């Protein structure tokens, strides 16, 4: 698909961690951006990033749906993994809300002139797939969290079959100098508090720097295949404990650790997210790279060097 010279873009979750970087990438490339947001502080973040704020709530139909008629639509549903613990009742509410939000957006743009919709999912949908990198063609593994995420993906397949031009981007653990990474790693390390570390150093995981993730989403809008699925992860999987160790080393700070025994993981994070913190889940970015995308931060080592440099500016 040819990239429009000056596309209009509509972003849900535009005031969030990934959303604000997505706005900046699109604006820097000359596109006009409309960002959906539900609060005045978030609207201010959207405006400062360079977009036009659109007030509205994905959970409720409204005037915001008219603004969604853009060349490119980026759907960034709220990310529940920003929490450390999710209960079953919360997971049920998240799953039901996701279906409603998707329907309000996708029904609004169905039959319109939208050239491409980039739907941001989560690699956790695939469950604990193991230490060998899998491609997007392999089936998801059963997991407690995946069972709550799957209904939205099944519904999304229906929209694709109906002809809606949707690209699904499954992002790994998106890190940077804000959001969960600041709360769980940056602030504890820089303040001398202890960082939680799960037994065995945590599972092997696939991550991606927030700036690379935003750039990849824009790249897929112009070069991805409608109906295609893409993993957004960097080149090297990493043990979860390496995140804090690498950040502390580059920040030249001592690392204090509070170890969580294996049997206690379920108690700390809850039964829904336990698989994410105990079992390996590694994904291949070969399909993303096959579209011509190139990483600026292809490893945790290079990405965390940037995070530390940004904090010191």
Task: Report the chain's mean pLDDT, rounded to a whole number.
Answer: 92
Structure token pair of residue 214? 């935003």
Tens-digit pLDDT profile for residues 94-120: 999 999 999 999 999 997 777 899 999
* C-alpha 290: how far from chain center: 20
Contact in structure between 235 and 298 (CB atoms under 8 Å)? yes
Tens-digit pLDDT profile for residues 67-97: 998 999 999 988 765 566 788 888 899 999 9
Position 13 scores a pLDDT of 95
Walk across the sheet containing 238-239 and list its strands.
Answer: 130-134, 281-283, 204-205, 238-239
DSSP 91-155: HHHHHHHHHHHHHHHHHHHTTS---EEEEEEEGGGG---EEEEEPTTSPPPP-HHHHHHHHHHHH
Mean pLDDT of 135-146: 90
The more confident residue out of 111 and 59 is 59
Q: Is 5 exposed, middle or buried (0-12, 13-18, 19+ CB in 10 A)?
A: exposed
This prediction has a pTM of 0.94
The answer to whether the Cα torsion of 14, 16, 17, 18 is positive or negative is negative
Which CATH number is associated with domain 8-176+207-235+283-296? 3.40.50.720
């Amino acid at each position: 698909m040819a990239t429009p010279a000056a596309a209009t873009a509509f972003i849900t979750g535009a005031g969030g961690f990934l959303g604000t970087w997505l706005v900046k990438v699109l604006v820097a490339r000359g596109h006009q951006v409309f960002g959906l947001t539900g609060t005045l502080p978030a609207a201010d973040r959207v405006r400062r990033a360079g977009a036009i704020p659109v007030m509205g709530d994905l959970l409720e139909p409204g005037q915001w749906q008219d603004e969604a008629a853009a060349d490119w639509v980026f759907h960034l549903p709220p990310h529940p993994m920003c929490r450390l613990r999710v209960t079953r009742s919360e997971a049920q509410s998240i799953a039901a809300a996701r279906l409603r939000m998707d329907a309000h957006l996708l029904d609004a743009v169905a039959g319109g002139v939208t050239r491409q919709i980039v739907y941001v999912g989560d690699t956790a949908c695939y469950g604990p797939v193991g230490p060998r990198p899998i491609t997007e063609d392999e089936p998801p593994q059963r997991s407690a969290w995946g069972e709550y995420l799957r209904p939205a993906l099944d519904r999304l397949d229906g929209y694709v079959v109906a002809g809606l031009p949707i690209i699904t981007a499954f992002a790994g653990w998106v890190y940077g100098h804000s959001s969960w990474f600041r709360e769980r790693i940056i602030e504890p390390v820089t303040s001398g508090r202890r960082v939680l570390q799960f037994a065995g150093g945590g599972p092997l995981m696939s991550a991606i720097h927030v700036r690379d993730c935003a750039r990849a989403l824009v790249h897929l809008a112009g070069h991805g295949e409608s109906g295609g699925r893409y993993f957004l992860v960097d080149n090297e999987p990493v043990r979860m404990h390496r995140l804090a160790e690498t950040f502390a080393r580059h920040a030249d700070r001592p690392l204090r650790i509070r170890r969580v025994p294996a049997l206690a993981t379920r108690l700390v994070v809850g039964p829904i997210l336990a698989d994410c913190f105990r079992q390996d889940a590694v994904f291949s970015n070969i399909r993303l790279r096959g579209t011509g995308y190139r990483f600026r931060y292809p490893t945790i080592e290079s990405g965390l060097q940037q995070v530390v440099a940004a904090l010191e500016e």
